[in-house]
Amino acid sequence: MRSLSLSTRRKLAANLFVAVMLAAWAIAALRLPGYVLPDPLVVVRQALAFFTDAKLAGHVVASIWHVVAALALAFFFGTALAVTSHYLRVTRILIGRAAAFLNSFSSIGWALLAILWFGLNDQAVIFAIGVVILPIFMINMQAALERRDAELIEMTASFTRSWPRGFISVVLPSLYPFMLATTRLAFGVAWKVALTAELFGGNSGFGFVVNIARQDIDTPRIFAVIAIMIAISFLADRFMFAPLQRVLTRHYADA
């Protein structure tokens, strides 16, 4: 044990920990009723059904669609508002207050209001997710604009007098890494909020599945949904956002 390096020992300990936890779960499941703690194998089988059963797979696609649509809308409006407040100084306090208000508004409140306004459908879910992550884009993109290099801006101004040209060819690219970092953060939040929004306001997606499983006390299915959601969120972060961020940072934010 002494001869192993610290990082090897850390990895070993981490994997051992997961193995012990899974074993503890399996043993505990033997003693407890299935609706309290289902067997890990039952959960795995249930999780696989989401990719083999067409109806369940449709719910996976619906949830991904809700999150992607909400992210796109919040990205567009949030960035537009941040740019407005940065360049149109007179709107700064107004937009700052709007962001602070949105940021402290209850996400469940939005979900419940969305049902009253849109009914039980995709729009309600997308609205509820989008409005929860909107302040994340407003606040972070505003901070990114503030933090940009003043010299870069001066250089742009000396090269071109055309504001749109300078904005599109210099300012916007310098924001790409921040945009991605913010989207990455918002994705994590959106993915978690989606479950709430779908449970109250949706007729499709993971939240809808969980709502029915909850009424049937179908605990294995609830566990399966949670496991898939954690897996998707982990895989998207590890294999989509992390590599993208490395590429973007190398290209646009080389300091």
User: Would you tell me which residues interact with another protein (CB under 8 A)?
Assistant: 6, 9-11, 13-14, 17-18, 35-36, 89-94, 96-97, 100-101, 104-109, 112-113, 115-117, 188, 191-192, 195-196, 199-200, 207, 210, 214, 217, 219, 222, 225-226, 229-230, 233-234
DSSP string, 19-58: HHHHHHHHHHHHHS-TTTS--HHHHHHHHHHHHHSHHHHH
DSSP string, 132-194: HHHHHHHHHHHHHHHHS-HHHHHHHHHH-S-HHHHIIIIIHHHHHHHHHHHHHHHHHHHHHHH
Q: What is the dihedral of CA 125, 131, 134, 136, to 10 degrees?
A: -90
**56 versus 124: smaller Cβ distance to another protein:** 124
CB of 53 to another protein, least distance (A): 21
**6 versus 150: smaller Cβ distance to another protein:** 6
- Residue recorded with tokens 């369940």: 56
**14 versus 247: smaller Cβ distance to another protein:** 14
CB of 64 to another protein, least distance (A): 15
**Number of residues in the chain:** 255
CB of 127 to another protein, least distance (A): 14
Q: Which 3 state secondary structure label does DSSP give 205?
A: coil
CB of 149 to another protein, least distance (A): 19
**68 versus 168: smaller Cβ distance to another protein:** 68
CA distances from 134 to 61, 95, 120 (A): 23, 12, 22
CB of 101 to another protein, least distance (A): 7
**36 versus 48: smaller Cβ distance to another protein:** 36
**170 versus 227: smaller Cβ distance to another protein:** 227
CB of 76 to another protein, least distance (A): 21
User: Within a 10 A sphere around the Cβ of 9, how many other Cβ atoms?
Assistant: 12
